[in-house]
A and B are shown apart, each in its own frame.
Chain A
């Protein structure tokens, strides 16, 4: 049911772990739904110098986390904020319909981390970032079913 690219990222995920002295941390999802993504950023002069993730979730959740971190590494905050879940899905060669929300979660995790960065800088993140809504929607409302 998963593409080769999904399995590749799941079997060998990139950027796994925590970043010491991270400049920003974003966490989305909840354990009740069965997936939580946490993204750590090191930011220098508006550029994402390093990124890592920790994910509790299914194969697709781990693969989308891996791809999303690859896609934003070395990018400016503006570029990272423009990352959409569709790009994540494309990079993975597609996701089964019930797993599409994992890509949404990856996009939201990136945005949540960048929002955290702005907050730490004393800047209202809502000026730049559309703050992810309450996490429950992805498993409890839309007919999605990723554990």
Chain B
């Protein structure tokens, strides 16, 4: 019962891939064994989890023993953020990082400036021997800007002997950007399956072997996930995560090239409209992400009219954020409230078609015009 004919909210969640779904189905049906059980049915389930762990390790260039499966990307972030006290992070981290810190933690926020990037010089100036954790997202969920992760990793590595650890919330980046945790000197990384065409309700945390001792158990109970995250595994979910990630990272450059062509088409058409602002920067940005602000209109109204036209997208308007203020990401860029209220996020995936782009470009200008016509603060 869906009237969606164009889906531009892949930053919220993605369609599950056929391959991921097919890989999962046996574990929801006949292969229902508990991976901790000693008999064949259980051992088969355990084997499937091992295979998924290998798939994730291969995608990130780490060891299978460095991957811990979780119930979501938010859980992976919470696990890390609640384990340390002296933390440096960017001011536009996801709420699953920003709001996950302990009340007595000492937090230093790095600015992201008007284009939405952390400056490594700011980080270097902020790190002290007391710093326990640096947490900077790989790519921002609203404006798609890809942070200088390798440089941040190198800066943190210089402090490794003092115990400084580098975590990155890579929920928006995994499957969309090539990631090598070794080359980038990443100590810990969070990811979520449903952002790369896997199932919802499953995520993973990478933790470099040498720093696993510093990480406390997140859920006490059985011996699952090396005793650090108890609870019978979501076998089908984990299998789906592994299959989806393997598929997502294969041929990533070609997929991104196709996305960039669509992004360029949308970007040039939308920026041709009067008084539109592109939030973030076109350089070093997720290939599927665009974020605009339209002067004189409010984001929720825009989304409702797009929905009536069969188009799904999202906004940083307060109306859709469930809080008093518009998106903290857009405010961090220095946008005035009224401009942040009029934002539209368009996020594509490898399944996005040219026909969907056509529909968006046919409807969006008319909708913007319609809302501006009834706006008391718009005078063209």
Say whether A34 faces chain B, with CB atoms less than 8 Å apart. Answer: yes
Q: How far is the CA of A35 from the CA of B287 in the complex (A)?
A: 33
Candidates A34, A37, A98, A140; contact of B317 at CB < 8 Å: A34
Say whether B323 faces chain A, with CB atoms less than 8 Å apart. Answer: yes
Contact between chains at B318 and A147 (CB < 8 Å):
yes
Q: Which residues of B contact A17 (CB under 8 A)?
A: 373-374
Q: Which residues of A contact B324 (CB under 8 A)?
A: 139-140, 143-145
A54, closest chain B residue (CB): B376
Q: How far is the CA of A56 from the CA of B348 in the complex (A)?
A: 28
Say whether A22 faces chain B, with CB atoms less than 8 Å apart. Answer: no
Q: What's the dominant secondary structure at chain A's contact region?
A: mixed
Size category of the binding interface on chain B:
20 to 34
Say whether A47 faces chain B, with CB atoms less than 8 Å apart. Answer: no
Candidates B319, B337, B338; contact of A146 at CB < 8 Å: B319
Size category of the binding interface on chain A:
20 to 34
Q: Which residues of A contact B296 (CB under 8 A)?
A: 56
Q: Which residues of B contact A11 (CB under 8 A)?
A: 308
Candidates A55, A59, A144; contact of B375 at CB < 8 Å: A55
With contact pairs A140-B324, A147-B318, A147-B341 given, residues A31 and B377 touching in the complex (Cβ less than 8 Å): yes
Interface stretch, picked from B19-27, B67-75, B76-84, B299-307, is B299-307
Say whether B61 faces chain A, with CB atoms less than 8 Å apart. Answer: no
Say whether B326 faces chain A, with CB atoms less than 8 Å apart. Answer: yes
Q: Which residues of B contact A143 (CB under 8 A)?
A: 324
Contact between chains at B301 and A57 (CB < 8 Å):
yes
A13, closest chain B residue (CB): B374
Say whether A36 faces chain B, with CB atoms less than 8 Å apart. Answer: yes
Contact between chains at A34 and B374 (CB < 8 Å):
no
With contact pairs A58-B301, A61-B298 given, residues A145 and B338 touching in the complex (Cβ less than 8 Å): no
Q: Which residues of A contact B320 (CB under 8 A)?
A: 147
Say whether B241 faces chain A, with CB atoms less than 8 Å apart. Answer: no
Q: How far is the CA of A36 from the CA of B375 in the complex (A)?
A: 8
Say whether B322 faces chain A, with CB atoms less than 8 Å apart. Answer: yes
Q: How far is the CA of A144 from the CA of B297 in the complex (A)?
A: 19
Q: Which residues of B contact A31 (CB under 8 A)?
A: 337-338, 341, 377
Q: Which residues of B contact A42 (CB under 8 A)?
A: none
Q: Mark A74-98, 1 if CB is under 8 A from B, else 0.
A: 0000000000000000000000001
Q: How far is the CA of A103 from the CA of B375 in the complex (A)?
A: 18
- Using A56-B376, A58-B298 as known contacts, list a sample of 10 further A-B pairs with CB atoms less than 8 Å apart, ordered by residue number in A: A32-B336, A33-B337, A38-B376, A56-B298, A59-B304, A61-B301, A139-B318, A140-B324, A145-B321, A147-B318
Identify the A interface with B (CB < 8 A): 7, 10-11, 13, 16-17, 27, 31-38, 53-59, 61-62, 98, 139-140, 143-147
Between A and B, 21 residue pairs with Cβ closer than 8 Å are A7-B304, A27-B376, A31-B341, A32-B337, A34-B298, A34-B319, A34-B341, A36-B376, A55-B375, A57-B301, A58-B301, A59-B304, A59-B319, A139-B318, A140-B324, A143-B324, A145-B319, A145-B321, A145-B323, A147-B321, A147-B326
